[in-house]
Amino acid sequence: MNADPPQNRGLTAIDGAMALIAILLIMQIWLLSATLESYLAGHPEAALPGAMISGILFAACLGLYRFVDRIDSEIRRG
């Protein structure tokens, strides 16, 4: 029984990308709640850096998704 057929090659890379995205998402959740709390407490200074860093995290997630999409398309339709 072939434990690692050619079809399963890219799965490790995809699993790694998904783990990274999960970590980025956790960071983003914390950032959102921290920004919200500080805004409601009357300190709106954190809003701009919060939004910028959230944008960077989202851009990283998007890049990782595109990576996953590329691997998928290369292995199954390449």
Partner 1 sequence: MFGREFYVDPSRCIGCQSCLKACEECDTHRGISMINFDFVDRRESIATAAYVCWHCDEPTCAQVCPADAIKKYDDGIVGSSLKPRCIGCSNCVLACPFGIPKLVPEYEQMMKCDMCYDRTSVGKKPMCATVCPSQALTYVTPETIAATRREKPVNTFWFGNQKITTKVYMMAPADAGEIAIDVADYTWEGENELVPQAF
Partner 2 sequence: MSWFRKPSSTPLWRDEFPVHTADERYVNRRQFTKFLTLTSFGMLVGNVWILAKSALHRAPNYPRMPVAAADEIAVGGVKIFGYPTPGDPCILVRTGYDSYAAYSQKCTHLSCAVYYEKERSRLECPCHLGFFSITDGSVLQGPPQRALPRVALERQGGQLIAVRMEGESA
- State the greatest distance between any 2 C-alpha atoms of the chain, in Å, as a whole number: 63
Region of 5-13, 26-34, 42-50, 52-60 interacting with partner 1 (CB under 8 A) = 5-13
When asked if residue 5 is in the footprint of partner 1 (CB under 8 A), the reply is yes
Contact 31, 50 (CB under 8 A): yes
17 binds, among partner 2, partner 1, none (CB under 5 to 8 A by kind): partner 2
Contact between 42 and partner 2 per CB under 8 A = yes
Distance CA 12, CA 24 (A): 19
Residue 1 beta carbon to partner 2: minimum distance, rounded to whole angstroms:
13
Write the secondary structure of 6-32 as one string of H (helix), E (strand) and C (coil).
HHHCCHHHHHHHHHHHHHHHHHHHHHH
* Binding partner of residue 1 among partner 2, partner 1, none, CB cut-off 5 to 8 Å per kind: partner 1
